[in-house]
């Protein structure tokens, strides 16, 4: 009996705190995830507790959950270069499970070390293509980075040197490109359609034509703005730890505790400028806990008048950018409009069905919604592909934003 209990404590009883994740503990999040499309990307060194975590997730989500384990595809994470076929087969299995069932709810867990940026970016791409929100998780076991202990725990018979070689890259990408709230699949189309309708209505308004550069020329705003990719509201741009305050943000208890949780974002306005098109997000007190204190000053150049705007003013979803404009511009454009709104510079143009439309000069329009639009979103993070280093021959050219139309 004593032996039996001892065995249990190793294999079955979770290490203290190691399973404290929002998606295992919060009822609201669990209910939402049961009707969502989610890719849980587990990462961590062999022996760190990934498979244990995978089992706990499978127990919680039962039939809704599918675990895909790298072990079943002959992947040897200590030798990733010799496992190209294994990774290809694993990715195909992930795609097949995500594509199965005609965009119905699904929770796919990928149990692998996922210690390189390349794998994280690839799985993130699959999630985007298949309309899933991706979450990147490392087991919270105390020994997860303790090489001596891990060699004892892993069943792969790996030496410390093997683990050490993986630990470097794993730590290098422990901080993502950015954190934010990612809109769930079920509401994405609704937001895209509503914003398209807004653009369509805007470019046919006489007042809009009057303020265009060439009032004789037809403007097609839907063509003018290129879609922004994954619909999300950035909280902290981390640049894999290189951005100021990134490490502190990633280690913040509120961020750790809320990671993977689902809450409603309230969209309170749509706006258009010659550079960008976006939706303003009105944050709740709870959501403001995840908002960095310096978010309003994070990107350059920030309009001076924006310094006095309340925390969270910059919260937005980029819906589209003009050719050659980076999405980071959307938040700056919003701050500029809000600063003008504060000093009552706008000209009320029209009461529309959705709300009141105000013009702020220089092609800047804001539609304040009569009824805010509520959209469920998951607090998560994202990894991008490694950008190739610019060569000396071909120095990085910054494209100048074209603002030809408005
Ligand atoms: P966005 O939040 O306005 O869309 C990847 O580039 C994402 O991070 C984009 O969503 C982008 O803008 C946001 N981003 C890029 N650089 C940023 C910065 N310096 N500060 C804040 N957000 C940034």
User: Distance between CA atoms of 269 and 195, rounded to whole angstroms?
Assistant: 10
Instruction: Please tell me the residue having the least CA distance from ligand 1 atom 8.
Output: 237
User: Is 115 considered catalytic here?
Assistant: no
DSSP conformation letters of 221-290: HHHHEEE-SS-EEEEEE-GGGTSTTHHHHHH-HHHHHHTT-EEEEEEEEEEE-SSEEEEEEE--HHHHTT
pLDDT in tens, the chain (406 residues): 344 443 444 456 777 778 889 999 999 999 999 999 999 999 999 999 999 999 999 999 999 999 999 999 999 998 888 899 999 999 999 999 999 877 899 999 999 999 999 999 999 999 999 999 999 999 999 999 999 999 999 988 899 999 999 999 999 999 999 999 999 988 988 999 999 999 999 999 999 989 887 666 778 999 999 998 899 999 999 999 999 999 999 999 999 999 999 999 999 999 999 999 999 999 999 999 999 998 887 667 777 778 889 999 999 999 999 999 999 999 999 999 999 999 889 999 999 989 999 999 999 999 999 999 999 999 999 999 877 766 655 554 444 444 444 5
Q: pTM for the full model?
A: 0.92
pLDDT at residue 215, rounded to an integer: 60
Instruction: Please tell me the residue having the least CA distance from ligand 1 atom 11.
Output: 328
Q: Domain 185-229+263-382 - what CATH class?
A: alpha beta
How many whole angstroms from 234 Cα to the centroid of ligand 1?
Answer: 6
The answer, yes or no, to whether any atom of ligand 1 lies below 6 A from the CB of 298, is yes
How many whole angstroms from 79 Cα to the centroid of ligand 1?
Answer: 34
How many whole angstroms from 246 Cα to the centroid of ligand 1?
Answer: 13
**Quick one: which atom of ligand 1 is closest to the CA of 318?**
4
Nearest to 179 by CA among 41, 17, 295, 20: 295
The answer, yes or no, to whether any atom of ligand 1 lies below 6 A from the CB of 234, is yes
Task: Name the pairing type of β-strands 65-69 and 232-237.
Answer: unpaired
The answer, yes or no, to whether any atom of ligand 1 lies below 6 A from the CB of 77, is no
Integer-rounded Cα Rg, in Å, for the chain is: 24
- Which segments within 273-346 are labelled E, that is strand? 276-282, 316-322
User: Is 211 considered catalytic here?
Assistant: no
How many whole angstroms from 39 Cα to the centroid of ligand 1?
Answer: 22
Instruction: Please tell me the residue having the least CA distance from ligand 1 atom 2.
Output: 234
Ligand 1: residue of 124, 245, 328 to mutate (most ligand atoms within 8 A of CB) is 328
Assigned CATH for 2-174: 3.40.50.300
Instruction: Please tell me the residue having the least CA distance from ligand 1 atom 12.
Output: 328
What are the structural domain ranges in the chain?
Answer: 2-174, 185-229+263-382
Ligand 1: residue of 325, 327, 330 to mutate (most ligand atoms within 8 A of CB) is 327
pLDDT at residue 12, rounded to an integer: 62
pLDDT at residue 19, rounded to an integer: 87
Q: How many CB atoms lie within 10 A of CB 156?
A: 13
pLDDT at residue 404, rounded to an integer: 44
pLDDT at residue 399, rounded to an integer: 44
How many whole angstroms from 146 Cα to the centroid of ligand 1?
Answer: 34
Which single residue is written with the structure tokens 């009461």? 351
> What's the distance, Cα to Cα, between the start and end of the chain in Å?
78
User: Distance between CA atoms of 147 and 185, rounded to whole angstroms?
Assistant: 39
User: Distance between CA atoms of 125 and 129, rounded to whole angstroms?
Assistant: 6
């Amino acid at each position: 009996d004593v032996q039996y209990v001892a065995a249990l404590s190793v294999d079955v009883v979770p290490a203290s705190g190691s399973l404290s994740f929002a998606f295992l503990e919060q009822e609201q999040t669990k209910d939402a995830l049961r009707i969502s499309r989610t890719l849980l990307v587990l990462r961590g060194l062999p022996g760190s507790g990934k498979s244990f975590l995978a089992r706990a997730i499978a127990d919680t989500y039962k039939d809704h959950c599918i675990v895909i384990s790298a072990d079943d595809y002959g992947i040897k994470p200590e030798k990733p270069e010799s496992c190209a076929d294994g990774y290809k087969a694993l990715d195909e299995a992930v795609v097949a499970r995500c594509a199965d069932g005609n965009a119905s709810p699904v929770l796919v867990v990928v149990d692998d070390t996922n210690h390189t940026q390349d794998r994280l970016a690839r799985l993130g791409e699959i999630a985007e293509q298949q309309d899933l929100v991706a979450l990147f998780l490392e087991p919270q076991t105390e020994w997860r980075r303790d090489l001596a202990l891990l060699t004892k725990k892993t069943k792969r018979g790996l030496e410390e040197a093997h683990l050490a070689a993986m630990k470097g890259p794993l730590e290098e990408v422990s901080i993502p490109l950015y954190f934010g709230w990612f809109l769930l699949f079920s509401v994405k189309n609704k937001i895209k359609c509503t914003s398209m309708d807004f653009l369509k209505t805007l470019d046919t308004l006489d007042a809009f034509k009057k303020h265009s550069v060439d009032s004789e020329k037809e403007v097609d705003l839907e063509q003018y703005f290129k879609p922004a990719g994954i619909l999300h509201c950035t909280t902290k741009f981390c640049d894999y730890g290189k951005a100021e305050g990134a490490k502190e943000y990633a280690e913040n208890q509120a961020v750790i505790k809320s990671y993977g949780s689902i809450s409603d974002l309230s969209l309170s306005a749509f706006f258009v400028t010659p550079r960008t098109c976006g939706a303003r997000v009105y944050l709740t007190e709870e959501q403001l806990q995840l908002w960095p204190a310096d978010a309003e000053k994070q990107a350059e150049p920030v309009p001076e008048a924006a310094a006095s705007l309340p925390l969270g003013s910059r919260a937005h979803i980029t819906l589209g950018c003009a050719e050659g404009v980076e999405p980071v511009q959307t938040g700056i454009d919003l701050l500029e409009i809000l600063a003008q709104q504060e000093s009552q510079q706008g000209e009320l143009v029209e009461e529309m069905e959705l709300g009141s439309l105000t013009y702020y000069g220089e092609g800047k329009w804001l539609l304040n919604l009569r009824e805010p639009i509520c959209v469920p979103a998951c607090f998560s993070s994202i990894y991008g592909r490694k950008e190739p280093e610019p060569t000396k021959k071909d120095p990085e050219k910054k494209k100048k934003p074209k603002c030809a139309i408005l």
